[in-house]
Amino acid sequence: MRSAPTILHLDMDAFYASVEQASKPSLRGKAVIVGGLGPRGVVATASYKARVHGVHSAMPMSQARRLAPNAAYLVPRFTLYRSISDQVMALLRALSPLVEPLSLDEAFVDLEAGGTAWDERSARLVGAKLRADIRAVTGLTGSVGLAASKMLAKIASEQAKPDGLVVIEPGTERAMLEPMPVRTLPGVGPATGDHLRRAGIHTVGEIAEAGEDELVRLLGKAHGHALYAMALARDDRPVVAERETKSVSVEDTYDVDIHDRVRVGLEVQRLADRCVRRLRGAGLSGRTIVLKVRRYDFSTLTRSETLRGPTDDPAVVREAAARLLDSVDTTGGVRLLGVGVSGLADYTQEDLFAQAAGGAGEEVAEAEESESASEPRPEVPVERRWSAGHDVRHTEYGHGWVQGSGLGRVTVRFETPGSSPGRVKTFRVDDPALEAADPLPLVEAPPDLPEPMRPPEEPPPRPLEG
């Protein structure tokens, strides 16, 4: 572990919900919940106001609605979130070449490798400036933790939430960790936490007191050794700039179980095509095709098939996924299907195309929502176009967002990121004056930011006299 707090961990505060509040003035300061709105949807992010009611990420949306019935419920806009994440990651990469993204809203940065921090004071200044730059460029807030290791930097950013900065100075780590609950440490989930609690271990300090041998006895060799090291604040993991993509996959959860075997097959084919679109978008191919099926009783089955070499051909992937489906019993109904490709490479093996029935070279449609001609799908009701939270434009009233739709009507609130809370209007779903629109920027004109500070250069040596 290094001798200065130059590992930075950034966590954007309630990211998806914060983006929605920044773009919708009427939702600022209110409970906002983003996620799947169907009967089997889950919460992706909840604003801090919603968390007061007990709502949290990964909670079933039905439970969230019971806890916070008056909250605003919105469908995610991942394209917008990704574009804002790109702005934030660009700010981080201006600080150091070693940036390790963990998700759209979270990353580690090695400030020492970028020469932007070398002691406690310079690290604190960089952290404060980063938070100000994020607000200036995106209009959002982020919490920053600074420490001498990745584990401690992440713990510091958790302490800093929301919209704060915490620096853990070297030499203070053990004293800070000792009174914290065991769940503070990475990898200690509910099951491990309960196991430790039954053994009389409730705090990080008590983990250290229990000793390595006792932890190995309780948790097994690998977990016991790792947990003991973390309790002693030992973490030598480096910040890794490129996290290798191990697989590409897509999946869908269905509001109503699918019982028709033909429909299941068509869904698998559609998912295979979507997966290949993602593969090609990333410039990748893969050797192993994976099928995931969650049945009516929540049992989950996975099947895989490894090809002779990597491919990004949709016909090959579809055919392999269909073969895998043949080995799965779906009689009782299916609630989730997924198709993935692993064993990734940045090249394809042409002779694999011969595996595809009907020849090779079928192109994947560019648009994410376009379907293969061999996959007839039921016509979607017009109401489904108007997803709650998505942007629209009306020829008379201008830009707005969908508050809700149903029974042939759609309700729109007309406001923009820079306006006051706007007025609400209701229209027929087929109103020709209303159309889908692209999101507006959260900040109209992001400022030109100054270069990050660098350590002073050493003065040149003076020539010897003589």
Q: What is the pLDDT of residues 101-139, one digit of tens each?
A: 988 899 999 999 999 999 999 999 999 999 999 999 999
The residue assigned the tokens 């994440």 is: 85
pTM exceeding 0.85: no
- Residues marked active site are found at 106
Task: Output the pLDDT for position 456.
Answer: 53
Helix (H) or strand (E) holding 415: none
At 446 the pLDDT is 60
What pLDDT was estimated at residue 5?
Answer: 92
113 — phi, psi (to 5°)? -65, -25
Task: Give the 3-state secondary structure of residue 294.
Answer: strand
Looking at residue 161, its pLDDT comes to: 94
Q: How many CB atoms lie within 10 A of CB 198?
A: 9
Rounded CA-CA distance 274/249 in Å is: 9
The residue type of 332 is G
Q: How far apart are CA 432 and CA 435, in angstroms?
A: 7
Classify 449 as helix, strand or coil.
coil
Residues in the chain where the model's pLDDT stays below 50: 350-384, 458-466
Give DSSP secondary structure letters for 195-260: HHHHTT--BHHHHHHH-HHHHHHHH-HHHHHHHHHHHTT---PPP-S-----EEEEEEEEEEEE--
* The pLDDT value given to residue 455: 58
Q: What pLDDT, in 10s, does the model give residues 194-240?
A: 889 999 999 999 999 999 999 999 888 888 888 999 999 999 899 98
Instruction: Please give the torsion angle defined by the CA atoms of residues 18, 22, 25 and 27, in that order, rounded to the nearest 10 degrees.
Output: -10
For residue 177, CA distances in Å to 11, 82, 94, 296 come to 20, 34, 31, 44
User: What pLDDT is attached to residue 452?
Assistant: 60
Q: What is the model's pLDDT at position 459? A: 47
Residue 169: both structure tokens together: 């100075």
Question: What residues pair up with 348 in beta bridges, in sequence order?
Answer: none
Specify which residues 402 forms β-bridges with.
Answer: 412
Phi-psi region of 208 (alpha: psi -120 to 50; beta: other; left: phi over 0): alpha
Residue 238 to residue 156: CA distance in whole angstroms: 17
Do 313 and 356 contact (CB within 8 A), yes or no? yes
